[in-house]
Amino acid sequence: MGGAGARPASRGYMDLGFLRPLYDNDAPVASVHLDTSRDTTDADKKTELRWRHLRERLSGQGADEATLDVLEEAVGEGASRAFGDHGQALFASQGRLLGEYTLGDPPLRDSALWSPVPDVLPVVVDRGRHLPYVLVALDRVKAKVFAYGGDPDPRPVSERDFVGADLHDIDTMGRGGPGSLGGYNGDYVRKQYPLETWRENTARLADIVREAVAEVGASIIIVGGDDEAISYLRDNIGERRLSLPIQVVSGGRGGRDAQERLHREAARALREFVLNAQVEAVEEFEERLGRDQAVSGTGQTLPMLSEARVRTLLLGAEREGEGDLWGSLTEPVLVAAKPRALGDEQAAFQAPASALMLRSAVMSDAGFAEVLKEGEPSAGSGAILRFPRQRSER
């Protein structure tokens, strides 16, 4: 297992480093999670009303007007203006917007909190359900490569078009594959030329795919199109030591219907991949419990977080009945059930349990995985440790 700065090893674990800017602040933070779906003609009005209620709630908790105004400017902007069901998470302090995130699914209920720590669980859970990936649509001459980031924004981070060497002499209906000229009638030399040309094309395309993978830190490559072309592309990707899973789906470049089917099937494949990754993470957690390399439950997890011994924090998305814990204004890694456990009680404050546990995980470079029960969201907590517990700690 890695050291303090190690990146989580399994694909089911999330790197929480993207949250660090939210903690570069000593003043209280306003955290807002609201439904910004644009699925009706009066969607903007609904969002405005939701925000109005949340603004009043934050004001009652002590939020300053400058912070409320900067939040109001950000509500419903960016990717949240896209059509469909989604949500938005906003964080601000001292009149400055600290972060804005689109949520792939609307929050179960709108929320607003003014607290010394940001309330980030909805963002983390949502981000864990949207892995970065690369989508490739190809035929025997052309291809399009889409790179999608690890967020629910439906727009790709980048699009790359590829046009290979002209293979117009290929008989794509013949049984001889992409190396055939006129089915079985071409001589061997004339067959080999287009075959080698296509292999060279796919080698160039593989380089483009590699660039797209690096751009977004992709977890999976999803491909649709011509079967023979996919086979050659897979070989070339392997030669470039891209060890990512490659998922083949239906659809491709052949007109609007094929492209729509490709994107629809890619979304389905990605959901399945994410769920499998989450299940794998929980299975590893349960296996490590038996070897004293993990702990279960909040009571056992808190001291491990405070000692920066957690490699991966596991939390459930279910927040019904969530209680508060105690954190420190001066020592962000510390989190406890009682203020006296923090040492300096003058610096102690209360906040939602998940907010404090995630702050500790972020500041100690731990990863994150969602706790599931039979594949569904649940409550619960635990941690995979950086090194096993000692006998005296059991």
Measured CA to CA, the distance from residue 40 to residue 2 in angstroms comes to 48
**Residue 172: count of CB within 10 angstroms of its CB:** 13
Position 69 in a domain:
yes
Please report, for residues 44, 186, 193, 375, the alpha-carbon distance to residue 189 in angstroms, rounded to integers and kept in the order given: 64, 8, 6, 55
Q: Do residues 92 and 139 share a domain? A: no
Q: Do residues 151 and 103 share a domain? A: no
Q: Do residues 68 and 142 share a domain? A: no
76: left (phi over 0), alpha (psi -120 to 50) or beta: left
Range of the domain at 205: 133-279
Residues in the chain: 394
**Tokens 């030669």 sit on residue:** 239
pLDDT at site 83: 65
pLDDT tens over the chain, length 394 residues: 333 333 333 456 889 999 999 999 899 999 999 999 887 888 889 999 999 999 999 999 999 999 999 999 999 886 655 667 889 999 999 999 999 998 988 898 999 999 999 999 999 999 888 888 999 998 877 889 999 987 767 789 999 998 876 544 444 433 333 433 344 344 444 444 456 766 777 888 889 999 999 999 898 999 998 888 888 888 888 766 777 899 999 887 777 788 889 989 998 999 899 888 888 888 889 999 989 999 999 999 999 999 999 999 999 998 888 999 999 999 999 999 999 999 888 999 999 999 999 999 999 999 999 987 776 778 889 999 998 877 656 6
pLDDT at site 12: 63
Domain tally, the chain: 2
Q: Do residues 176 and 269 share a domain? A: yes
Q: Do residues 175 and 84 share a domain? A: no
Prediction pTM value: 0.79
Q: Do residues 77 and 187 share a domain? A: no
Q: Do residues 66 and 149 share a domain? A: no
H helices present in 151-226, as ranges: 188-216
Q: Do residues 139 and 202 share a domain? A: yes
pLDDT at site 80: 59
pLDDT digits (tens, 9 = 90+) for 268-287: 999 899 888 888 888 889 99
Pick from 254, 279, 304: which residue ends a domain? Answer: 279
Position 230 in a domain:
yes
Position 18 in a domain:
no
pLDDT at site 90: 97
pLDDT at site 185: 45
Position 138 in a domain:
yes
Position 80 in a domain:
yes
Side chain identity, residue 17: G
Angle at 37 between CA 34 and CA 43, to 5 degrees: 105
Measured CA to CA, the distance from residue 108 to residue 352 in angstroms comes to 17
Measured CA to CA, the distance from residue 359 to residue 364 in angstroms comes to 9
Question: Cα 227 to chain center, whole Å?
Answer: 29
DSSP labels for 338-367?
A: SGGGGS-GGGEEEEEHHHHHHHHHHHTT-E
Q: Do residues 174 and 252 share a domain? A: yes
Position 73 in a domain:
yes
Measured CA to CA, the distance from residue 336 to residue 341 in angstroms comes to 6
Q: Do residues 111 and 157 share a domain? A: no
Q: Do residues 156 and 232 share a domain? A: yes
